[in-house]
Chain A
């Protein structure tokens, strides 16, 4: 079975603080993809990143960084120097080769950044 757990339901920070969103996944597949999506108040899902299971290199894109650790089945997302515009619900998702027909999503983490 495939499962994604985002234990943090809601996080509140003040602008310029760093924040890390946790994601833990479960799968027996050896080949899989992990994703992060952002859902702003407008409701549309915005794709942020995709990593495959063979690439454990951490990635940085501007203020965003991702830490993929297969040893702990985690794919955490850090926002550095958060801004009000970062306020949104963030979803972590998993796609396996045996379940390629779908993305399995976590329940999301609501991030509120206050000025």
Chain B
């Protein structure tokens, strides 16, 4: 079956512009995650969605970052007034329901490489 897809694969933007990154999770996966991979850094958690529950936004680095998940499926990560330090690869992952008592594997998409000039 289809895996996690992300678009665009590459995005170049100018400082100060807004960008939207899209993630299509695996069908049936109720949990969706965004991570950021900056040069020389590991993957940093950004935000987590689970069904209709309030998202966990604890990893968002600033209020310029926001994300939504419409209809429990597709998610969009929006970065407003982009800065050069926002340049990174943004990875999306999805899984079956996430809980403290069990683990369901996170499947990662190919990522969106964002370059802010």
Q: Is B56's CB under 8 angstroms from A101's CB?
A: yes
Q: Check: B117 CB closer than 8 A to any chain A CB.
A: no
Taking the closest CB of chain B, its distance from the CB of A52, in whole angstroms, is 8
Q: Check: A25 CB closer than 8 A to any chain B CB.
A: no
Q: Kindly list chain B residues whose C-beta atoms are within 8 Å of the C-beta of A64.
A: none
Q: Which of A4, A6, A102 contacts B45 (CB 8 A)?
A: A102
Q: Kindly list chain B residues whose C-beta atoms are within 8 Å of the C-beta of A43.
A: 89, 110-111, 113
Q: Is B42's CB under 8 angstroms from A107's CB?
A: yes
Q: Interface residues of A: mostly helix, strand, loop or mixed?
A: loop
Q: How large is the interface on B (under 10, 10 to 19, 20 to 34, 35 or more residues)?
A: 20 to 34
Taking the closest CB of chain B, its distance from the CB of A106, in whole angstroms, is 5
Q: Which of A45, A95, A102, A107 contacts B103 (CB 8 A)?
A: A95
In whole angstroms, what is the CA distance A52 to B102 when docked?
10
Q: Kindly list chain B residues whose C-beta atoms are within 8 Å of the C-beta of A98.
A: 100
Q: Kindly list chain A residues whose C-beta atoms are within 8 Å of the C-beta of B89.
A: 43
CB-CB contacts below 8 Å: A77-115 with B: 91, 93, 95, 97-98, 100-108
Known: A43-B111, A45-B91. A105 touches B42 (CB 8 A): yes
Q: Is A44's CB under 8 angstroms from B110's CB?
A: yes
With both beta carbons as reference points, the residue of chain B lying nearest to A47 in the complex is identified as B105
Q: Is B103's CB under 8 angstroms from A50's CB?
A: yes
Known: A43-B110, A44-B110, A45-B91. A104 touches B45 (CB 8 A): yes
In whole angstroms, what is the CA distance A93 to B106 when docked?
12
* Known interface pairs A104-B45, A106-B42; 7 further A-B residue pairs with C-beta atoms within 8 A, sorted by A's residue number: A43-B111, A93-B43, A100-B98, A100-B99, A103-B43, A103-B106, A105-B43
